[in-house]
């Protein structure tokens, strides 16, 4: 499934949604989760039932959560998790660094 993350990619500050305790202190986990939930409520990336189902299918395949837990996730929670995943990938690729605007 293709999900358009263009506006997020162009405007987001990925550090806000994905950073470690070493970078943000002991509250990094709760801080990034709150930020992702807030962003999810304001500007969701997963906008259709199919997109939400795709995220849930990915989560089930990861083995990180139980099926019943995943099935109970709200749209905001799915979007927050997706925002954290995209942000982590952006940071890993160096897209939150000095030359990020040069990357197509």
pLDDT digits (tens, 9 = 90+) for 77-98: 999 999 999 999 999 998 876 4
pLDDT digits (tens, 9 = 90+) for 38-66: 999 999 999 999 999 999 999 999 999 99
How far is residue 90's CA from residue 13's CA, in Å, rounded to a whole number? 10
The whole-model pTM stands at: 0.89
CA-derived radius of gyration, the chain: 14
**Phi-psi category of 25—alpha, beta or left, where left has phi over 0 and alpha has psi -120 to 50?**
left
């Amino acid at each position: 499934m293709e999900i358009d993350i263009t506006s997020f990619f162009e405007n987001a500050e990925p550090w806000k949604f994905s950073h470690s305790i070493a970078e943000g202190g002991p509250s990094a986990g709760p801080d990034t989760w709150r930020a992702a939930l807030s962003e999810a409520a304001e500007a969701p990336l997963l906008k259709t039932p199919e997109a939400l189902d795709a995220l849930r299918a990915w989560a089930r395949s990861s083995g990180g959560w139980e099926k019943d837990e995943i099935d109970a996730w709200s749209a905001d929670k799915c979007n927050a998790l997706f925002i954290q995943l995209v942000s982590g990938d952006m940071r890993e690729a160096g897209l939150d660094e000095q030359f990020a605007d040069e990357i197509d």
